[in-house]
Structure 1
């Protein structure tokens, strides 16, 4: 976990056979309790992107930004991405709002 300026605040170590997707909520709660801060904005890579983790983040009212894999999206979302990306200029992005109240930012 890092602070506003990007400097490490804390960490935890899990055994090597622990699936990374099962560590997200426990580590967030542990670090919040240990350091006494309110809910952080979670920024994570696609390794933590599971339906279970997203549902837990939403249920616990965390704000989050998680890198997604387009290959895991529905055919409808992939089609929308292809259509909208035809007219996008280099360096720009667009947003697709999904039915589960999450957004994809495509750049």
Structure 2
């Protein structure tokens, strides 16, 4: 994890933990990384350390969307690992977004019991690293939807809207964080009232003053960003998951690993 905590807890250290569990869900080992280190880079490092220590064969990695990059998925594919990762759904493109928001194609998680949620499967989802087209991995993309959670999220969204409207009426300043209701706020930059008016003289000085003013300007809440609000309403409780089954390893590799285990004993 990087940056400030979403919970606004400045009294606690920010760390990232890699946890290993067995098939029964019991913790086996863990590794702690500094909170300001990039998860994209520490994932391979954590896997290397733990694999050397345990020589594990059958592995499925579970991670949130902060680790769901094309390069990480290619790295896992090359190792023969399976994975289940939360998938960001706001940048899938128009075609997939239409498929995701079309609720008519969803199936019940429990047949005949829609109250337990619904799902839709995209069998061959290709994700390519924009900086390296060779890093393309085919996965199964699963969308999920819950009517019960949608109602809860609608209530939260409306509560956030009320908070924004109240703050806009008071002309409050928006802080740096974009989490929660702050992510759908409409603002305008306001300069301190005591700033002198600029003239047309000395254009170099004008540019210098403009840069200084930009640093001093504050964002004042003026209302709800309706486009963001409507987009969130359309996507209430629509979640995405990238899934890939682990690959069966060649017998020669399994034999080599088993031999390594015997030597360690």
TM range (shorter): 0.7 to 0.9
CA distance in 2, matches of 1:32, 1:47: 22
Mark the runs of 5 or more structure 2 residues left unpaired by the alignment: 1-19, 109-113, 127-136, 145-265
Moved over 6 A (4+): none
Do the aligned partners of residues 51 and 4 (structure 1) sit closer, same or farther apart at CA in structure 2, a change above 3 Å counting?
Answer: same
The answer to whether residue 126 in structure 2 is matched with residue 93 in structure 1 is no
Pairwise mapping of residues 56-67 of structure 1 onto structure 2 (< 5 A)? Answer: 56-67=75-86
Pairwise mapping of residues 1-107 of structure 1 onto structure 2 (< 5 A)? Answer: 1-83=20-102, 85-88=103-106, 89=108, 90=114, 91-96=117-122, 97-99=124-126, 100-107=137-144
2:162 counterpart residue number: none
The structure having more radius of gyration, on CA atoms, is 2
2:105–2:120 contact (8 Å) kept in structure 1: no
Q: CA deviation at 1:60?
A: 2.2
Q: CA deviation at 1:24?
A: 1.3
Deviations 1:30-78 (A, max 9, x none): 1121123214111111111112211211222211110111113122211
1:32–1:39 contact (8 Å) kept in structure 2: no
CA distance in 1, matches of 2:79, 2:24: 25
Greater fraction of residues in strand:
2
Provide the aligned length of Structure 1 versus Structure 2: 106
Deviations 1:66-105 (A, max 9, x none): 011111312221111123x234343231211313421111
TM-score (normalizing by structure 2): 0.37
2:120–2:143 contact (8 Å) kept in structure 1: yes
1:49–1:67 contact (8 Å) kept in structure 2: yes
2:60–2:82 contact (8 Å) kept in structure 1: yes
Mark the runs of 5 or more structure 1 residues left unpaired by the alignment: none
